[in-house]
């Protein structure tokens, strides 16, 4: 049974690796960012408008909203044999609330994908996203076969609103101010494994598979 958390700075490669690991292990990939983007796309609601505001400023969505959405998702049938959380927790409080919720089926792996800040800026500003297929590309490091089009669906690739440089800077600050506390919580509990995320995508995947063997 795998109950995995991927934690790390924005742009570190969590989504890219989560996609590969979830196909490999046949478990659901749960990204709170993806869930929020889907809620925003679905249409107008007070909650979606509130979430859009926080995301566009690069701030964390308040814990109550995130926790509700996340717990609702992991209570679904497809999560009963394991799952991978990508982008949750992102604060000390979220990490503690998650532990309390999972008391009877705790996390099996907490993996930090760590990447230097200069590299993160290049990755985030170069990121291109296929909204429907969920595929993630990069104009510098992982380009699509045809410029601007998804290899799988052929749809146009977009630049996420929050991948503009102004917002990226704030997201990196939010990571240091709020998410590093969750990383330290797992480190102190002795459950954190750190993966060097600066290698190429296949090498990082190989390192993660090694960690998942234990
Ligand atoms: P996160 O989910 O942590 O924000 P992503 O998986 O979306 O990160 O990756 C951020 C950007 O970096 C994307 O454009 C992706 O294609 C690219 N990327 C991911 N992993 C690597 C890697 N190992 N080397 C270079 N670029 C990468
Ligand atoms: P990235 O992959 O670049 O780290 P995500 O798609 O995971 O970005 O998250 C995008 C945004 O969604 C965050 O900047 C934040 O506003 C919001 N978000 C996602 N997950 C959480 C969370 N666990 N807590 C609070 N806000 C979140």
Can you tell me the mean pLDDT for 165-175?
A: 96
pLDDT band for position 214 (cuts 50, 70, 90)? confident
CA angle 32, 35, 40 (to 5 degrees): 125
C-alpha of residue 67 to centroid of ligand 1, in Å: 25
Residue where the block lists tokens 């709170």: 32
The pLDDT confidence band at residue 163, using thresholds 50, 70 and 90, is very high
Is 181 in contact with 94 (CB distance < 8 Å)? no
Average pLDDT over residues 56-70: 95
Give the pLDDT of residue 43: 80
Q: What percent of the chain has pLDDT over 90?
A: 95
Query: Residue 104: pLDDT above 90?
Result: no
Strand partners, 2: 82
Stretch 133-160: mean pLDDT, rounded?
97
Largest CA distance in the chain: 47
Determine the pLDDT at residue 44: 79
Domain map (residue ranges) of the chain? 2-115+179-213
Total residue length of the chain? 214
Asked whether the predicted pLDDT for residue 155 surpasses 90, the reply is yes
- The model's confidence at residue 148, banded by pLDDT at 50, 70 and 90, is very high
What's the mean per-residue pLDDT of the chain? 96
Pocket lining: 185 vs ligand 2, CB cutoff 6 Å: no
Q: Is 113 in the pocket of ligand 2 (CB under 6 A)?
A: no
Cα(87) to centroid(ligand 2), Å: 6
Is 164 an active-site residue?
A: no
Per-residue model confidence (pLDDT) at position 103: 87
- Dist. CA 214–CA 212, nearest whole Å: 5
Q: Which CATH number fits domain 2-115+179-213: 2.30.30.280, 3.40.50.300, 3.40.605.10, 3.40.50.920?
A: 3.40.50.300
């Amino acid at each position: 049974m795998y109950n995995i958390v991927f934690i790390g700075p924005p742009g570190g490669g969590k989504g890219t690796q989560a996609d590969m690991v979830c196909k490999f292990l046949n478990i659901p990939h749960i990204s709170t960012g993806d869930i929020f983007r889907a809620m925003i796309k679905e249409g107008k609601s007070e909650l979606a408008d509130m979430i859009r505001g926080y995301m566009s400023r690069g701030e964390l969505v308040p814990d109550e909203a995130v926790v509700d959405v996340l717990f609702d998702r992991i209570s679904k049938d497809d999560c009963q044999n394991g799952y991978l959380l990508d982008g949750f927790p992102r604060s000390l409080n979220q990490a503690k609330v998650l532990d309390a919720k999972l008391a009877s089926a705790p996390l099996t792996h907490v993996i930090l994908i760590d990447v230097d800040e200069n590299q993160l800026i290049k990755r985030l500003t170069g990121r291109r996203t296929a909204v429907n297929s969920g595929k993630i590309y990069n104009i510098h490091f992982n380009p699509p076969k045809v410029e601007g089009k998804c290899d799988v669906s052929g749809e146009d690739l977009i630049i996420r609103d929050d991948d503009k440089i102004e917002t990226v800077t704030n997201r990196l600050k939010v990571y240091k101010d709020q998410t590093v506390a969750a990383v330290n919580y797992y480190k102190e509990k002795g459950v954190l494994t750190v993966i060097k995320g600066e290698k190429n995508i296949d090498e990082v995947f190989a390192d993660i598979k090694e960690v998942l063997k234990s």
